[in-house]
Structure 1
Amino acid sequence: MKLERACADVISDALLERLRTILPEGQGGKLIAQAYDGAAVMRGATGGVQRKVQDIYPTAHYTHCYAHQLNLVMQKATSHIPQISHFFSDMGGFASFFTKSTKRTAVLDEMVAHRLPSASSTRWNFNSRAVNTVYEHKDDLVRCFQTIRNSDAFDGQTNREAGGFVRMLEDDSFCFFLNLFHKIMPHVDILYSQLQRRNCDSIYIGGAMQAFIRRMQNIRDAVPFLVGDEEYRGPVQEPAPKRRRTLEEDRQHRLAEEVCDTIMTHATERFAFTKHLVSATLLQGDLFQQHRRKFPDRALETTVEAYPSLDKARLKTELSLIYDNEEFQNCSGALALYQVLMANNLQDTFAETVSLLNILITTPMTTAESERCFSTLNRIKTFLRNTMAQDRLNALAMLSIEKKMARGIHDFNSRVIEKFASQKDRRAKFLYK
């Protein structure tokens, strides 16, 4: 559907019109969630699309895409400290330097044999690639820039820029932050992947966030022992020989601790339990022992308030039985508990619990997958391929989106070739006179 304008009123009217055809009158309670990327027009608490939809469907609770929230956490942690902001600005200059000239790229390919990925302010996995590449190939990059600077084949501006990059890579402060973020970024990448899993639920995300914050705390505790390029081997072993840190090193360590504190603080705030995440704590297996000693009445009240279709008394009875049964304590998430109940044909016995599990499992946690579909479409249907028919577009899009599945099919390529070869009249016959 083509919209006249990208404003909240037009978008919400289009969504509501479509929802009326999907949900007949009286069945609005089946719409339990809505998820967007956090743009102001979508997430606005008073005039945004999510507010206008929730005015009609009260149980359609809004979820800010968690993958986008992680990007916002990293942006906040790196933008409010000028030195860190300058560091990532400098990181972006490496790829920019080589993309401006094929002669520069030729030297890079010869001496480093690895291209430098571009950084991005909205995709932090791109920044992770840039940090890791510069960290792993730092010595080769120094030689590459020195070769360019000392060569007569380049103009004066190129020589000056190459000299600046040499000084940057040899700067103690730059090397310290490069080492720091080389340790932080892998954990960000892991969490970023976890937040985009198709089968993730709020219980799984809660556990992933707790593990991420613990890892950030470990890195923060190790900051006093992090010196330049020196490999960190744990907070117990101090670098030898023991010496007093300089004022510059003290400043670097304070900034590193501030970065870790900011990441942990904003991650905790942005991923704080909303109503549907509070509901998830009722079914979190590692809390069953605690819930058995003291039933989580407040979480139950919040859950029933968020989803009025649930029977409070019956749900409490069923949860009490689940907490007393040790077999359920090994369930690591909502999906695992749901599968146990269904496998043992207990869906009628624990009907309200199954209803709550259905809500938690189907609540969208991220919108990144749908955005990747649009990105795929942009790559396939370009200006030069604008005359592509719909059937071919659908087939290519499906192959691109589900490439992992296609690669896992045995003899997929051979079977496609055989199918193509078996068809008749594959091409028109041209007659030359």
Structure 2
Amino acid sequence: MAVVLRFVDKDGFVRERFFGLVHVSNTSTVTLKDGIYSLLSHNNLSIQNIRGQGYDGASNMRGEWNGLQALILKDCPYAYYIHCLAHRLQLALVAVSHEIVPIHHFFTKLSSVVNIVGASCKRNEELKRAQAADIEYMISIDELESGRGLNQIGTLQRPGDTRWSSRFRSVSNLITMFSATCSVLLNIIEDGTNAFQRGDADAAYEAMTSFEFVFILHLMKEIMAITDILCQALQSKSQDILHAMHLVSSTKALIQKFRDYGWITLLNQVKSFCEVRNIDIPEMNAQYVARQGRARRQEDNFTVAEHYRVNLFYAVIDCQLQELSSRFNEHAVQLLILSSALDPRECRESFRIGDVCQLADKFYPADFTDVDKMNLKIQLEHYEYNVVQHPEFKSLSTISDLSQWLVSTRKATIFPLVYRIIVLVLTLPVSTATTERSFSAMRIVKTRLRNKMEDEFLTDSLIMYIEREIAEKLSIESIVNEFRDMKERRIPF
């Protein structure tokens, strides 16, 4: 387990330093917590001084009830957990939906269809010709509008974990080129060079032309269309926390609205899609029977419509809402929204003194006494005239820039309480990228030829490798002198 400390130095710069590597016998939350506490106590650091914690997307870290962040919050109530804003949220949402078996099968079949159709340049050309013919036919029957820039010829997108929004584009493109894709698969079934190609194409065509595949295709497209804007905003290099948090709220509301009122519209849309393409539509009021030998294990009697509404529609949406709520709970969202009141870009529009006071009163009561809270409001009123309206303040774009400027102009000593809350906000780890890079560096330092390296030596080596800018300031002579001044060692005979 790699541990990185985030803090603000004496010059107002935000620093993220690799602190150590903890070897854990298992990944239980108690073991992880004990490992962190042991490392901090070994370096004479108190856990009561933690003011933020952030982890990767692992469930044992971020679990709301039994996760590592929850256990630390019990011991230190002001160690607020903030979801890593650099984490690819849409991939996490898709991964959660994989827990529903039909959705997992759908993405497996989707990848198979895209790989078969896009396996060669010849098939891509066939796809483009088929799509052009399909567009021409749809325009002739007034199903599509014609005009400049409309109905562009495209291609299928391969879903991948390293390509942002690839799954959303993959689903959207397949809906647009559904008929053209079916035509290419039929051509492969008839004219494939070998039995393997024909068999794979036949299996892909059979899966693709099922009502369940089409239903899930449209369902995932609607859900990912709602979450895509938020996912793109969280990936922005220049993070606008206030707007991102408002997007979190609107995304939750839109998904909930889709759950409450979107079922009939989605079902009619899927039925219309299937009718145009001659795909069999099951009788919705008939009793649902599980396929592939699972019918004999089926105990409950429910209709086909109930299966699609409850087991797929509600199940997928509920897992999305639960994932968003666990990553962005109301407490964390309010903390970040109030923190944005200190952002120079927000201050130039409207300096929200009340939000800053509420931030100190509600989230950092251990760092501000009652007298400090009274003085903070007075300092903020002076701060508005002496700092916010300063000509150089207009050139600042982030809270980190503000912190450095306050120290360099010595205004941090004039407004110590304002600077204190700025430092507290800056310690919130809104990105775990440094931690992930530090852990990845272990593969470089501890290679196959050096896999017997002890934990202490590995940690020291990683510190020298990761924090090389600090190591470069150390001279060989100073290291030799320090080693010489250490206690005397036994001289070998």
TM range (shorter): 0.5 to 0.7
Q: Does 1:227 align with 2:269?
A: yes
Specify the alignment match of 1:130 in structure 2.
Answer: 170
Name the CA shift for 1:16/1:272 in 2 (closer, same or farther; >3 Å): closer
Match of 1:267 in 2: 324
Amino acid at match of 2:188: I
User: Structure 1 residues 87 and 332 mapped into 2: Cα distance closer, same or farther (>3 Å)?
Assistant: farther
Q: How far off is 1:273 after superposition?
A: 2.9
In the alignment, is residue 305 of structure 1 matched against residue 346 of structure 2? no
Q: CA deviation at 1:170?
A: 3.5
Matched, 1:33 2:52: yes
- CA shift at 1:153, angstroms? 2.0
**How far 1:36 sits from its partner (Å)?**
1.1
Which residues in structure 2 correspond to 1:378-417 (within 5 Å)? none
1:117 aligns with 2:158: yes
How much does 1:88 deviate? 3.0
Shift of residue 175, structure 1, vs aligned partner:
3.0
Equivalent in the alignment of 1:87: 106
Identity of aligned residues (%): 19
Q: Which amino acid aligns with 2:320?
A: I
Greater shift in the superposed pair: 146-155 or 343-352: 343-352
What displacement does 1:97 show?
Answer: 5.4
**Corresponding residue for residue 288 of structure 2:** none
Q: Which digits, 9 at most, give the CA deviation of each residue in 1:68-126, with x for residues without a partner?
A: 7765555445644x654543343243356579xxxx65654453485752456x99845
Q: Which runs of 5+ in 1 are unaligned?
A: 232-245, 384-396, 399-433
Shift of 1:193: 3.7
TM-score normalized by the length of structure 1: 0.58
Matches within 5 A, 1:215-294: 215-216=254-255, 224=265, 227-228=269-270, 247=284, 256=313, 259-260=316-317, 263-264=320-321, 266-268=323-325, 270-274=327-331, 277-278=334-335, 280-281=337-338, 284=341
Q: Deviations over 1:171-200 (max 9, x none)?
A: 455334323433432443442343344553
Q: Alpha-carbon deviation of 1:15?
A: 5.0
Deviation of 1:280 (Å): 4.2
Task: Find the aligned partners of 1:230 and 1:352 in 2 and give their Cα distance.
Answer: 63
Q: Which residue of 1 aligns with 2:208?
A: 169
- 1:92–1:119 contact (8 Å) kept in structure 2: no
Matched position secondary structure for 2:330 = coil
For 1:3, the aligned partner's letter is H
CA contact (8 A) 2:88 2:164 kept: no
Partners in 2 of 1:228 and 1:52 — Cα distance? Answer: 45
SS of equivalent to 1:32: coil
> For the Cα contact (< 8 Å) 1:35–1:64, is it kept in 2?
yes
Give the secondary structure class of the aligned counterpart of 2:53. Answer: strand
1:271/1:2 Cα in 2 relative to 1: closer, same or farther (>3 Å)? closer
Output the CA distance in 2 between the equivalents of 1:377 and 1:47: 28
Deviation (angstroms), 1:250: 6.7
Partner of 2:179: 139
> Is the 8 Å Cα contact of residues 189 and 197 (structure 2) preserved in structure 1?
yes
Counterpart contact for 1:216–1:260, Cα < 8 Å: yes
CA distance in 2, matches of 1:266, 1:378: 31
Distance (whole Å) between structure 2 residues aligned to residue 48 and residue 268 of structure 1: 15
Q: Aligned partners of 1:274, 1:320: CA distance in 2, in Å?
A: 27
Query: In 2 relative to 1, CA 51–218 (structure 1 residues): closer, same or farther, beyond 3 Å?
Result: closer
- Provide the residue aligned with 2:292 in structure 1: none
Alpha-carbon spacing, 1:222–1:68, altered in 2? closer, same or farther (3 Å): same
Q: CA deviation at 1:35?
A: 1.1
Q: Does 1:184 align with 2:226?
A: no
Q: Distance in 2 between matches of 1:317 and 1:49?
A: 39
Q: Which residue of structure 1 lines up, in the alignment, with residue 421 of structure 2?
A: 356
Structure 1 CA distance for aligned equivalents of residues 431 and 318 of structure 2: 25
Q: Give 1:312's aligned amino acid.
A: K
Alpha-carbon distance between aligned partners in 2 of 1:326 and 1:250, rounded to the nearest angstrom: 59
Secondary structure, in 3 states, of the residue corresponding to 2:54? strand
Alpha carbons of structure 1 residues 276 and 308: separation in structure 2 relative to 1, 3 Å = farther
On the 8 A contact 1:117/1:130 being kept in 2, the answer is yes
Partner of 2:233: 194
Deviation sequence 1:136-186 (CA, Å, 0-9, x none): 44333212211221125221x543442232244344553343234334324
Gap runs ≥5 in structure 2: 1-20, 129-154, 274-282, 286-303, 449-464, 467-493
Alpha-carbon RMSD: 5.8
Task: Judge conservation of contact 1:54–1:61 (CA < 8 Å) in 2.
Answer: yes
Contact 1:334 1:361 in 2 (8 A): yes
Paired letter, 1:278: L
CA 216–90 in structure 1, closer or farther in 2 if over 3 Å, else same: same
How far apart, in 2, do the equivalents of 1:131 and 1:278 lie?
35
TM-score w.r.t. the length of structure 2 is: 0.52
Q: Are residue 65 (structure 1) and residue 104 (structure 2) matched? A: no
Is the contact made by 1:34 and 1:364 (CA closer than 8 Å) also made in structure 2? yes
Q: Which protein has the larger Cα radius of gyration, Structure 1 or Structure 2?
A: 2
Quickly say closer, same or farther: Cα 1:250–1:361, change in 2 above 3 A: farther
**Is the contact made by 2:117 and 2:124 (CA closer than 8 Å) also made in structure 1?**
no
- CA distance in structure 2 between the aligned counterparts of 1:339 and 1:367, rounded to whole angstroms: 22
SS at match of 1:36: coil
CA contact 2:54–2:429 (8 Å) conserved in 1:
yes
Question: How many pairs were matched up?
Answer: 366
- Name the CA shift for 1:369/1:279 in 2 (closer, same or farther; >3 Å): closer
The one of 241, 245, 248 equivalent to 1:209 is: 248
What residue is the counterpart of 1:151 in the other structure?
Answer: 191
